[in-house]
Structures are given as structure tokens and as C-alpha cells.
């Protein structure tokens, strides 16, 4: 059984070797290939990848156009992956990568999953797009409650990968740029929902990797149009999946007051206070955006309208969350999850 791995990277010379070694261990003794799709400012990341000893064949792709999706799709089109029976994708900024986690993802696909994705607990101040929008919206519109739908560590079946490459060619004009960036994670998952079962691989410890907060605007404006466009075409299931059993794993860590204030100041600088927020608190603005796309508004435009509301939601979460216990944070997220699902199911719940 041939296996393959795609390692998208940008300026990760310090972590690429450890991730490559862990992935190689997970691939095992089967014929395998590891493709490093790199868009770094220097060749150091590619050189460190090439210098790492592996059993698998290595294919370095250097000098690619910047964009996580661009990198992954460039690797996915390589002829070396044509006969792979499972394809692993792994983030290359991970510190202390666990071969067992990668192996579990591969095993779930080999057992019949269209896509297997890592489910690791996130620190309370992270995963804002996942917790406040991506997870509840995907669950409400597809029936798949995936705890970490934007996780960068996942495995795909060849049927799913082929569907992804076909679907890219059918995107409306406004979306390829999003999928070429951080929108690729949502695109992979939502494409897989039409191919076969999904599997989440539970991991007990938070992932050690670079903070995504500095890239918040880019992640939002690239991922949310993909989320809205692909979920707006779905017919929501009639019963909320999981009901009261929906759980969020929120890992505690202390956040220094100065760092928290810097984050809040950054959020304030990114957008104006939205009108009507108190009258229609989150997640209603997210539901409005979803209904807008269903009524014909371009997903990029709906995303732009939602931006100020999202910034306010994140700011509110950081402000109040610092005083909440881990269990309280998890309960707050689960409550908002259920509210979003109920509003999606109620067409009249969309404000005009």
C-alpha cells in the first residue's frame, strides 16, 4: 500500500526536520513519498528538509507562491502522489510532533474514512474562528460536528483528494484566491463530507505550534468565504446533532495581562464597533451571513459584512473568558453552538 505526505511550509527551518522525521515514522515501511511544498523567504527550510534522513522518498518543492492552499494543491498534483492510497497533510510549525497521531490519521483512512482529522484541545485564547464560527456552522449545516474542522493535521483518501482537485476547478470566480490561502482547510473538510465518513482522532494534549493570532485578518477573510459558500448549498439536518451532548475541550493557560491587552488593542484597530450588536448578539450575525449567501449575496461580501461582528465576538470572549473557569468556557461555547444551530434551522431567524 503506497502512502504519501504533504508538508506545506513557510519559514519553518527550526521545526521542519522533526515533523519530517515524525511523518516518516508514521508512514511506516510501505512505499511512500513526502512532498515538502515550501514558500519560504530563504532556502533554509527546504535544505533542512532535504537533509533529514527518511525511509520515504523526499520531493522538495521550493519557491512556490505564498499561500497554504497553493502549496498543498501544488503538491497534490504531483505525479508521485498519483497512486497513493492515503495522503497525510501535516503542519510544519509543530513542535514535538507525535508520530502516533499521524499514524492514527492514516489508519482511519485505510479503514474507510474519506477524511480523518486531528482533534486536540485548544487553549482558551486560541481557535477563535473554529470555536465561534467554523465548528458550529459546519455542524448545523452538514450534520458533522467536527471538533477541530480547521486542524492542519489530516489524512485523505485518494477519492477525496481527486474530488478536491475537481472541485477547485468549479469554484466561482471570487473563491479560488481564498482556497489558495487559509481557506484550504475548510475546503478539504467540506469537500470530503460528500465523499464518505469523517473521523476525528482525539489527542489529549494541546498542539504546540506558532500562534495564529497575528494572521487573524488573513485567516478570516480567506477561510470564512469558503465556509459560507460551501455550507450555504447544504440542507441543514432537521435535528441538531448531539443536542445537549455537544462538548468543547478548552485547555487553560494563564495569559499575561499585557499580552491580553495587546490582543484587544489589535482587535479594536482592525474594525469599527458594529451597529446593533447588543440587540442581535453573536451568533445571530453569523447566521445572518449564512442566510445572505443562501439568498444570493456573494460569500466574500457576506464575509466583509460579518467582519466587525466577528471582531467584537473575539474581543468579548477574551475579555470575559479571562475570568471564567475551563468548564464555564466550554459551557459558553456549547450554548452558542446550540443557538447557532437553532437559528440556522429557523429561516425566519435571519434578519433582513
Helix or strand or coil: residue 60? Answer: strand
Cβ atoms within 10 Å, residue 53: 9
**Class of residue 228 by CB neighbours under 10 A (exposed 0-12, middle 13-18, buried 19+):** buried
**Class of residue 51 by CB neighbours under 10 A (exposed 0-12, middle 13-18, buried 19+):** exposed
Q: Nearest 5°: phi and psi at 233?
A: -85, -5
Which pLDDT value is given to residue 240? 52
Which pLDDT value is given to residue 239? 60
Query: The C-alpha cell of 162 is what?
Result: 481527486
Which pLDDT value is given to residue 244? 54
- Find out whether 178 and 302 touch, Cβ atoms under 8 Å: no
The β-bridge relationship of strands 3-9 and 86-89 is: parallel
Q: Cα–Cα distance between 252 and 75 in angstroms, integer?
A: 36
Mean pLDDT by 10 residues, the chain (352 residues): 95 97 97 97 97 98 96 97 97 96 98 97 93 96 95 97 97 96 98 96 91 90 98 78 72 91 94 72 94 96 96 94 90 94 70 44
Cis bond upstream, residue 168 (ω within 30): no
Which pLDDT value is given to residue 350? 45
Q: Nearest 5°: phi and psi at 156?
A: -125, 150
Q: Cα–Cα distance between 189 and 200 in angstroms, integer?
A: 11
Torsion of CA 267, 273, 276, 279, to 10 degrees: 50
- Find out whether 32 and 2 touch, Cβ atoms under 8 Å: yes
Query: The C-alpha cell of 116 is what?
Result: 480523518
Which pLDDT value is given to residue 246? 86
Q: Cα–Cα distance between 258 and 332 in angstroms, integer?
A: 25
pTM (predicted TM-score) = 0.94
For residue 336, give the nearest of 124, 137, 152 by alpha carbon.
Answer: 137
Helices (DSSP H) in the chain: which residue ranges? 16-27, 44-51, 68-76, 99-110, 128-129, 135-142, 158-169, 176-179, 184-192, 216-232, 257-270, 284-294, 299-321, 326-345
Helices (DSSP H) in 52-129: which residue ranges? 68-76, 99-110, 128-129
Q: Cα–Cα distance between 177 and 67 in angstroms, integer?
A: 9
* Domain ranges within the chain, ordered by starting residue: 98-349
Amino acid at each position: 500500500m503506497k502512502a504519501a505526505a504533504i508538508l506545506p511550509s513557510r519559514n519553518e527551518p527550526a521545526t521542519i526536520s522533526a515533523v519530517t522525521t515524525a511523518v516518516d515514522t508514521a508512514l511506516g515501511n510501505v512505499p511512500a513519498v513526502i512532498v515538502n511544498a515550501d514558500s519560504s523567504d530563504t532556502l533554509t527550510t527546504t535544505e533542512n528538509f532535504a537533509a533529514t534522513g527518511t525511509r520515504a522518498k523526499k520531493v522538495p518543492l521550493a519557491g512556490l507562491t505564498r499561500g497554504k492552499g497553493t502549496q498543498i494543491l501544488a503538491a497534490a498534483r504531483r505525479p508521485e502522489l498519483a497512486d497513493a492510497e492515503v495522503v497525510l497533510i501535516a503542519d510544519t510549525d509543530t513542535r514535538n510532533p507525535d508520530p502516533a497521531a499521524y499514524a492514527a490519521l492514516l489508519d482511519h483512512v485505510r479503514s474507510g474514512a474519506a477524511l480523518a482529522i486531528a482533534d486536540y484541545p485548544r487553549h482558551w485564547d486560541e481557535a477563535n474562528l473554529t470555536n465561534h464560527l467554523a465548528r458550529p456552522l459546519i455542524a448545523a449545516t452538514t450534520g458533522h460536528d467536527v471538533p477541530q474542522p480547521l486542524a492542519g493535521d489530516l489524512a485523505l483518501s485518494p477519492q477525496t483528494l481527486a474530488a478536491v482537485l475537481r472541485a477547485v476547478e468549479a469554484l466561482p470566480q471570487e473563491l479560488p484566491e481564498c482556497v489558495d490561502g487559509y481557506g484550504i482547510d475548510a475546503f478539504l473538510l467540506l469537500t470530503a463530507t460528500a465523499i464518505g465518513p469523517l473521523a476525528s482522532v482525539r489527542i489529549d494534549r494541546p498542539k504546540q505550534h506558532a500562534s495564529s493570532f497575528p494572521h487573524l485578518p488573513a485567516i478570516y477573510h480567506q477561510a470564512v468565504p469558503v465556509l459560507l459558500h460551501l455550507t450555504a448549498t447544504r440542507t441543514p439536518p432537521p435535528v441538531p446533532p448531539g443536542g445537549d451532548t455537544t462538548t468543547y475541550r478548552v485547555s487553560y493557560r494563564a495569559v499575561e495581562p499585557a499580552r491580553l491587552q495587546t490582543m484587544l488593542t489589535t482587535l479594536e484597530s482592525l474594525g469599527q464597533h458594529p451597529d446593533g450588536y447588543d440587540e442581535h448578539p453573536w451568533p445571530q450575525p453569523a447566521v445572518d451571513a449564512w442566510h445572505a449567501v443562501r439568498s444570493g449575496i456573494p460569500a466574500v461580501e457576506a464575509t466583509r459584512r460579518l467582519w466587525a461582528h466577528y471582531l467584537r465576538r473575539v474581543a468579548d470572549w477574551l475579555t470575559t473568558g479571562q475570568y471564567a473557569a475551563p468548564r464555564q468556557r466550554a459551557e459558553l461555547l456549547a450554548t452558542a453552538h446550540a443557538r447557532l444551530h437553532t437559528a440556522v434551522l429557523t429561516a425566519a431567524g435571519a434578519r433582513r
